[in-house]
Each structure stands twice: as C-alpha cells, then as structure tokens.
Structure 1
Amino acid sequence: MAAGARHHWIMVLDIENFSTRTDPIQRSLRGAMYGVLREAVGQAGLPEAEVVVEDRGDGVLMLIPATVSPVDLAGSLVRALDDGLAEAAAIFNEAHAMRFRVALHQGLVTRDGEGWSGDAVNTASRLVDAQPLREVLRAATGSRLVFVVSDEIHRSVIRHGYRTIDPAAYLPLRFRDKQGKLIECWVTVPGRPAPPGLPVPSDERPDGDGPAGGAARGADGGNGGGPAVPGGVTMWAEKVHGDQVGGDKNVTVHAPGQVRL
C-alpha cells in the first residue's frame, strides 16, 4: 500500500568506474563503500532510525527526513565521506581505488511496497549520473569525491555560508539530461578552491541568455574553449562565491531493496 508523499532530503552516492571492475573487486568496493558510509553517518550524529538507505548496486539512495538540517548533510557528512575515502585509499591498492560522486536534492517522495519514488528522486539520480560531473571527478586528480547540489539546495543553504560553508568553492553547472530537460546545479570538490574540468563561458550561455559558441575560461582563469561533452550534454559554469556544507549520518531501511547500516 502506497504511503502519502512526504518531503525528504535526497542524497545519492555512486562509486566511480564501478562497472569496469571485476566481480570480486565490485564486491570488495561495495563492502568498503558501506564501511565508509557507516563511519560517516556515525560521525554526523544523525538519527539512524529515521534515515532510509536503498541499495543501488554501485551506490545508494538515501532519504533523510525534513527535520534533519541540510547543513549537516552538505557539510559534516560530505567531509566525513571524504575523510573516510582518504583512509580507505591508504589501505587499498590501485585496483580497489574508490572515489564517490555525491548529489543532494530535496522534494516529495512516496513509498510503496517495492521502495521509493518521485520526481525529486529522479532529479537527484540525474545529478549524480551527469556526464559533466563525471568529467569533474576525472579532472580532479588526487581528489576523492565530487559533490553536486541542486539549484534549490544552493539557494536555500549553500550560498548563505552556514558553519563551514565556503560559497567560493562551488561553481554553477547546467546540463541537459537524456530527455533534453535542462538541469541546474552547483558543484564542488572538497579540498579544492574550485572544481576543475568545467568550461567557463565569459559572456554567452547555451540557455539563450547570449549567443552560443562564445569563449570559455577554465577554472583557473585561463582562456580556451569548453570541452566537448559526450551524449550531446550542454554545460556551462562560472566562478562565484558560494557555500560548502557537509554532514555525516546513519541510515536505516525498512522496505524491500533497502539495507540497514
């Protein structure tokens, strides 16, 4: 029986290049992923019994009740995940290298007998799967995690600079999903002043605000054209002052396909 739609914070986590690994390594990475997540959740001190996690093979979907502060999610959890990945990197060899793409969104979700659904869940999944986000992590050599938040999260949380939030560490990103829908979000890489690998148009934007095909700047201010993105994805970014938050949390699952941390 379906439950009524309720507001949740929605976080999706994926392991980079998971499908390219052999089955034994995939199993090892999944175990390591949950170990890092459990530790991060514990450090955040979030209400374990109220947080739901749904396993997605190469990652997890987490649903957090609206009573939890998004500042804790974007701040403490993200920092703890990054720290946990650093500890894992010191133990595992290159074949077991593990890096995360993490997305944070919010909205209404509905639970039925099979799991959770809602457009907000779809949006969070699009964010974490976006090719431009993959390119950022690929360009962030030596980093362990890339974090993306929806435009709503940025406007309501990140830009205000709560606690340890650093607005300048985020860059805006727009891309079109497979259905051609324009998605707006903000990206950061913990430990870096700005995320690498994003084109930075000076005047023109591909959304109609200016003529297409304008010059682009790299995150370091250098001139050069924006890189082509596979799959027809359109993206742009520019330097701004924004916030960065992080938080840890524990997760509990009670529906099919869910797991208890």
Structure 2
Amino acid sequence: MDVEEYGQEWRTTRHQLAVREGLYRALRRAFDDVGLPWEDCRVEDRGDGAFVLVPAQVPKGPLVEALPYSLADALRQHNKAHPAEEQIRLRMALHAGEVAFDDQGVTAPSINRAFRLIEARPVKKALRESPGVLVVITSEWFFDEVVRHSGVVDPATFRQVQVAVKETSTTGWIFRPDHPYPVGHDLVGPPVGLLRIARAT
C-alpha cells in the first residue's frame, strides 16, 4: 500500500504521524473485519505505506473480494475525523508468488513485481481521477487466477493497463472498490488461445 501525496510539503511531521497511525489502524480493522489473520502476516513499514506479506495458506479470494471494501470504509471513517492534511487516499497492489527469507527480511521477483505495480503511472492516475479513497491494481496472474474465478467481484469492472516501471513491463488490472468503473464486458473476453481452440473444433 502507498499513501497518495504523503511527502507533500503541506503535510508536517505531525500530519504524517497521524496518517501513519490512521493507515495501520485502518489496515488492522479491515483485516479483522474480513477474517484475515493480521497477526500472522509479515508487515514492513515503508514510511509512506506498508508491505504486507500474507501467509501462503490464506485463501487469496478475500484479498480482492472483501479486504478492499472494508479498507475503503475504514479510510473514509478516518478521513471524516481528520483535517485535510491528515486524510488518506491509498493505492494497493495485489500479487502472489514465491518469496525467499534471509536475515534482512524477504526478497523475490514476485515482491519486485508488486512494488512496480503500485508505482505504475496508470494506477496513480486512476486514484487522482477517482472521488474514492482507494484504488487497487492486481497483477495479471492475480487477475487470471483469482479475480476471473471469483463469484463475488465482477471482473468486468476492472480495467486492463500497461505497466512500465524500471525493468518491469507487464499488464495490470485496476479496480476502484468505492467508486467502481462501469461494467465493460468487452474488456474481459476469453484468452486468445481459447478462441483459437474453439474455432478449430
């Protein structure tokens, strides 16, 4: 997760401390609300955001089906009680993969991918243009393996974007839980390979 405009000059240290406290309070509340084990997650502070590594045995569905909605609600509650300098608008990236642990923490290409997704221009633009408080970008893998098969979220409310950050060039899928894109079924058709198989039979 990454807080929009955290480092702007109009935020004093006092404001940033309030934002950090509000972010972690919102995250804990959202994880608790949807039954995800916050205490079992590895959480690393990033100053203007947080990196949360969810245990592999936790089902991935709730991370996109429930967590973003609960988190957006918790952020709205925080914002109602704080001045503009202490309010939070957030980008969140969802990805899954293998990770390696060492004495300094964790590393893996999958972690790099998540960080590149959250820094992508399209997700920053999506948040700037949204009246909501949260924008989520998923990796192509997460979209294909989790979102497409969900019976809770509608894949047609996601928007495909190209991500080009540092050495990473990939596809991401953006959705806005508290201000959804209109349904666009034409954007979520079957993969090209399946179309070719269907035509060949």
**CA displacement, residues 59-96 of structure 1 (integer Å, 9 cap, x when unaligned):** 11111122111111112111110110111121111121
Alignment of 1:80-229 (within 5 A): 80-140=70-130, 142-162=131-151, 164-179=152-167, 181-194=168-181
Once residues 6 and 125 of structure 2 are traced to their aligned partners in structure 1, the CA distance between those partners, rounded to angstroms, is: 15
Report if aligned partners of 2:119, 2:165 keep a CA contact under 8 Å in 1: no
* Larger relative helix fraction: 2
Find the aligned partners of 2:98 and 2:165 in 1 and give their Cα distance. 21
Runs of 4+ in structure 1 displaced over 3 angstroms?
Answer: none
Counterparts of 2:97 and 2:124 in 1: how far apart (Å)?
24
Bigger mean CA offset, 14-23 vs 150-159 = 14-23
Aligned-pair Cα RMSD in Å? 2.0
| Unmatched tracts of structure 2, length 5 or more | 190-201
Query: Alpha-carbon deviation of 1:175?
Result: 2.2
- Aligned equivalents of 2:165, 2:149: Cα separation in 1: 28
Unpaired runs of at least 5, structure 1: 1-12, 196-218, 221-237, 243-261
**Partner SS, residue 65 of structure 1:** coil
- Please report the TM-score for the alignment, with normalisation by the length of structure 2: 0.86
Count of matched residue positions in the alignment of Structure 1 and Structure 2: 187
Q: Give the conservation status (yes or no) of the 8 Å contact 1:111–1:117.
A: yes
Percent of matched pairs sharing the same residue:
33
Tell me how far apart the structure 2 counterparts of residues 25 and 91 of structure 1 sit (CA, whole Å).
13
Corresponding position: 1:60 with 2:50: yes
**Residue identity matched to 2:187:** V
Q: Which amino acid aligns with 1:176?
A: A
Q: Is the 8 A contact 2:69 2:178 kept in 1?
A: no
Offset at residue 101 of structure 1 (A): 0.2
Per-residue deviation, 1:44: 1.6
Q: Structure 1 residues 38, 48: closer, same or farther in 2, change over 3 A? A: closer
Alpha-carbon separation, structure 1, partners of 2:181 and 2:147: 14
d(CA) in 2 for partners of 1:42, 1:161: 21
Instruction: Name the structure 1 match of 2:61.
Output: 71
- 8 Å CA contact 2:28–2:38 kept in 1: the answer is no
